Amino acid sequence: MTPRAFIHLPELAGRLTPADACGLRLTDEVLAAWDAQARQQGLPPDWRLSTQEVERSRQTVLAGQDGKDLWVFAYGSLMWNPGMHFEEVRRAQLDGFVRRFALATAIGRGTPECPGLVLTLQRQAGTCQGLAFRIHRARVETESRLLWRREMIRGSYCPALLPLDTPQGGIQALVFTANTAHPQHRQGLSLAETAATIASACGSIGTNRDYLDQLAGQLDVLGIVDTHVRTLAAAVRQQRAPTQHKTGDRHTMAGP
């Protein structure tokens, strides 16, 4: 990240985790550590997609993009922990989708006994406002591989190139939308059910409540009003805090 990257959003300077400090640039060594944790939790050997499956998805979506910069839409944890080297960041809006906590996680922000919830993009009337990060063409191969490993580790999303509106003009960006057919997808949770889950879930890298708080805080910095997130955050604050907290960094396995 250079100062020029924040020319459109100077308020974000100093508020994003640098790529090299992300913790979720999933190298082979990091993946091996996640696999060990999954075994300890009793998850099956195929708890995540194979490297070949992840790479096949990446190549399919990015076919024809050789030699071009890549924009990536951030609506969840990527908004404060993008985990990528980027040249530019803008405010961005995606039409026809809304932000919802509808993806169960049993590793990271929850456990098999008490799964947490991370963000998805649900196809629904409305808009989702977030950020768009531009990766330089020379870095797209490396950065997109690491991003796919992070977001598609369990195949919980449907990646696609979709049009976004930004104050500087329209762009096409990589967007990870909800895979509603995935067994971890939780369709139709009420606000009360969602709040109760987020208030109680905690995993190896932190509480589910902290994930929501970081999202709400970043939206406030950007002046983005998401009524659902505000209402949910208020409902979670009314819940009793978890009796035990695990220490961890401020990262999440899923939820762009």
Main-chain phi, psi angles of 55, to 5 degrees: -65, -35
Interatomic CA distance for residues 133 and 25, integer angstroms: 16
The pLDDT of residue 107: 78
Distance of alpha carbon 29 from its chain centroid, rounded? 21
Q: What per-residue confidence (pLDDT) applies to 241?
A: 53
User: Which neighbouring-strand residues pair with 173?
Assistant: 71, 162
Instruction: Inform me whether the pLDDT recorded for 63 exceeds 60.
Output: yes
CATH topology (fold) of 3-237: Hypothetical upf0131 protein ytfp (3.10.490)
**pLDDT at residue 19, rounded to an integer:** 86
User: Any idea where the domains of the chain sit in the sequence?
Assistant: 3-237
Q: Give the residue-averaged pLDDT of 198-205.
A: 88
Question: Is 151 annotated in the active site?
Answer: yes
Average pLDDT score over the chain: 89
Q: In the numeric block, which tokens belong to residue 16?
A: 């994003």
Q: Look at 16-30, 32-46, 199-213, 222-236 and tell me which has the smallest mean pLDDT.
A: 16-30
| pTM of structure | 0.89
**Per-residue pLDDT tens digits for 179-195:** 999 999 998 899 999 99
pLDDT tens-digit readout, 219-249: 999 999 999 999 999 999 998 655 444 433 4
pLDDT for the residue 163: 98
Mean pLDDT computed over 81-102: 96
The active-site residue out of 113, 143, 151, 193 is 151
Ramachandran quadrant class, 187 (left: phi over 0; alpha: psi -120 to 50; beta: rest): beta
For strand 202-203 and strand 206-207, is the pairing parallel, antiparallel, or unpaired? antiparallel
pLDDT exceeds 70 at position 70: yes
The predicted model gives 95-116 an average pLDDT of 91
Query: Who wins on pLDDT, 229 or 154?
Result: 229
Q: Over the chain, what HEC string results?
A: CCHHHHCCCHHHCCCCCCHHHCCCCCCHHHHHHHHHHHHHCCCCCCCCCCHHHHHHHHHHHCCCCCCCCEEEEECCHHHCCCCCCCCEEEEEEEEEEEEEEEEEECCCCCCCCCCEEEEEEEEEEEEEEEEEEEECHHHHHHHHHHHHHHHCCCCCEEEEEEEEECCCCCEEEEEEEECCCCCCECCCCCHHHHHHHHHHCEECCEEHHHHHHHHHHHHHHHCCCCHHHHHHHHHHHCCCCCCCCCCCCCCCCCCC
Q: How far apart are CA 200 and CA 195, in angstroms?
A: 9
Copy the structure tokens of residue 36: 């060990």
1 versus 107: the higher-pLDDT residue is 107
Which tens digits make up the pLDDT trace of 33-57?
Answer: 878 888 887 888 888 889 899 999 9
pLDDT at res. 240: 65
